[in-house]
Amino acid sequence: MSTAELTASRRTWRDWVPTKQLPVLVTLALFGLMYGVGVLQYRGFSDTQVFLNIFIDNGFLLVVAVGMTFVILTGGIDLSVGSVVALSTMVSSSLLTEKGWSPYLVMAVVLAIGSVLGFLMGCMIHYFDIQPFIVTLAGMFLARGLCYIISTDSIPINDKTWVAIADYKFRMGNYRLSVSAVVALVVLAIAVWILSYTKFGRNVYAVGGSEQSALLMGLPVSRTKIAVYTISGFCSALGGMLLTFYTLSGYGRGAIGLELDAIAAVVIGGTLLTGGSGYVLGTMVGVCVLGIIQTLITFQGNLSSWWTKIFIGVLLFAFIMLQRVIRLGRKT
């Protein structure tokens, strides 16, 4: 009897629901539910543009969260992302507005700065065996501090190319997508590919599963670990650039607390913080969930400041509980 026959004969209905992708599917279903509630509850919510706006408004968050997914998959964490985003907005705006550099050069410099910061943090984490939480916390202080060194004020961006990119819209009939939304989706697609079809991607999962085993299996653990922080740094820098397309300015106090949004998106998307398990597509759903919570609140339109926070908390809670209940329900 061949293995194929063997396994085929043993399949039951359970096997048709992919166990590994289940968390993502559950999240997706719940997202649909929330969307449905919004459509029923609020006028104008059903407009497809409202849905597309989630990507337009959160393109930068999606990119940052994709980078964070790599890090979390290896069992690490990157707290510096918010500050690096702010730093890239500051660097872009000051180089463009105050120094008058060419926009393409600025893009290269910004991405390089983010990647180098990530790379350095990765090296500290790996070679000196310091916990990622702390290294990236120091990175967070550092990047934020650099922002203030550049300027404590916000700096507008008037560069023609930048403005043109910011204003450009991809149109499909009545609907629009901004450049940053499209860039974010492209980054997402690349990440999906890397994580499931390259050696490096699989090494990321292996390191997250058990770093020691990965080492003993002869995998390039050091390279992988340093690479994920570099990727995260790169994604943060790119996210910062996308944010400048959104706001056309740089501000040192921008994106405070973004790291928590990114982590929340990754985890809501079904990735385990202990590493080794999760999908970057889940992260996209996580970003959508955060986006739709924000959209619901905006449509609601009369929450006071504190009720806004409480409402976010309650929605998060409801969401996570449902996720748990559905998954537990399947297990037994």
Partner 1 sequence: MTAQPPAILTMTGISKEFPGVRALDNVDFRLFPGEVHALMGENGAGKSTLIKVLTGVYGIDAGTVVLQDRPVNFHAPSQAQQAGVSTVYQEVNLCSNLSVAENIFLGRQPRRLGRIQWSVMNRRAAELLKRLELNIDVTRQLSTYSLAVQQLVAIARAIDIDAKVLILDEPTSSLDADEVAQLFRVMRQLKSEGVALLFVTHFLDQVYEISDRITVLRNGRLVGEYPTAELPQLELISLMIGKELADLEKLEEQPKRPISAVETGQPFIQAQGVARTGAVAPFDLSLHPGEVVGLAGLLGSGRTETARLFFGADRADQGQFLVDGAPVAIRGPMTAMSKAIAFCSENRRTEGLVGELTVRENIILALQAARGWTRPLSRKRQDELVDRYIRTLQIRPANPEAQVRNLSGGNQQKVLLARWLITEPRLLILDEPTRGIDVGAKAEIQKLVVELSDGGMAVLFISAELEEVLRLSHKIAVLRDRRVVTELVNDDTVDADRIMNAIASGAGRPADHLVAGPSDTDEVAA
Partner 2 sequence: GDGEGGSGGGGADDGQIVLGFSQVGAESGWRTANTDSIKKSAEAAGIKLQFSDAQQKQENQIKAIRSFIQQKVDVIAFSPVVESGWDTVLKEAKDANIPVILTDRAVDSQDTSLYKTFLGSDFVKEGKLSGEWLVEQYKGKTDPVNIVELQGTTGSAPANDRKKGFADAIAAAPNLKVIASQTGDFTRAGGKQVMEAFLKAHKDIDVLFAHNDDMGLGALEAIEAAGKVPGKDIIIITIDAVKDGMQALADGKFNFIAECSPLLGPQLMDLVKKVHAGEAVEPRIVTEETTFTQEQAKAALPNRQY
Partner 3 sequence: MSVTTVIRHRFFWPVLALVVLLVSNVFFTPDFFKLEVRDGHLYGSLIDILRNGAPLILVATGMTVVIATGGIDLSVGSVVAIVAGLACYYISKQPDQNAVSGVLTAVALGLGLALLLGLWNGVLVAGIGIQPIVATLILMVAGRGLAQLITGGQIITINSDPYDLIGAGYLFTVPFAILVALFVVFLAVLLTRRTALGMLIESVGGNAEASRLAGIRSRRITIMVYVFCAFCAGIAGLMVSSDVSSANGNDAGLWIELDAILAVVIGGTSLLGGRFSIAGTVLGALIIQTLTTTIYTTGIPPEVTLLFKALVVTIVCLLQSPAFRAKVFRGRRRPVAPPATPASEEPKVEVPA
Nearest residue to 146 via CA among 237, 65, 69, 234: 237
Of 145, 69, 157, 143, the C-alpha closest to 113 is 143
Residue 180 lies near partner 2 (rule: CB under 8 A): no
246 near partner 2 (CB under 8 A): yes
303-332 positions binding partner 2, by CB under 8 A: 303-306, 308-309
| Closest distance to partner 1 from the beta carbon of 208 (Å) | 7
**Judged by CB under 8 A, does residue 171 bind partner 1?**
no
Of 161 and 196, which CB lies nearer to partner 2 in the complex structure?
161
Number of CB atoms found within 10 A of residue 154's CB? 15
Q: Which one among 251, 286, 289, 293 touches partner 2, defined by CB under 8 A?
A: 251
Report 267-296 residues binding partner 1 (CB under 8 A).
Answer: 276-277
Chosen residue from 35, 51, 205, 279 binding partner 1 by CB under 8 A: 205
Least Cβ distance, residue 192 to partner 3 (angstroms)? 23
Output the six-digit token pair for 149: 């060194």
Binding test (CB under 8 A) with partner 1, winner from 127, 141, 148, 197: 197
11 binds partner 1 (CB under 8 A): yes
Distance of CA 28 to CAs 24, 25, 322, 323, Å?
Answer: 6, 5, 12, 10
| Residues within window 150-179 making contact with partner 2, judged by CB under 8 A | 152-158, 166-167, 174
Least distance in Å: CB of 30 to partner 2?
22
Q: On the CB side of 58, how many CA atoms lie within 13 Å of its CA?
A: 28
**Site for partner 1 contains 218 (CB under 8 A):** yes
Distance CA 86, CA 127 (A): 27
Of the two residues 309 and 330, which places its CB atom closer to partner 2 in the complex? Answer: 309
**215 touches partner 1 (CB under 8 A):** yes
At its nearest, how many Å lie between partner 2 and the CB of residue 262? 13
The pair of structure tokens assigned to 20 is 């590994």
**Gap between the Cα atoms of 146 and 84, Å rounded:** 10
C-alpha distances in angstroms, 145 versus 8, 78, 142, 149?
A: 59, 17, 5, 6
What tokens were used for 199? 């050696």
Beta-carbon contacts of 299 under 8 Å, excluding residues fewer than 6 positions away, are 38, 41, 42, 44, 45
Residues that bind partner 3 (CB under 8 A): 124, 127-131, 133-135, 137-139, 141-142, 144-146, 148-149, 152, 220, 260, 263-264, 267-268, 272-273, 304-314, 316-317, 320-321, 324
* CA distance linking residue 267 with residue 278, whole number of Å: 9
Q: Which of 108, 112, 133, 199 is the binder for partner 1 (CB under 8 A)?
A: 199
129 counts as binding partner 1 under rule CB under 8 A? no
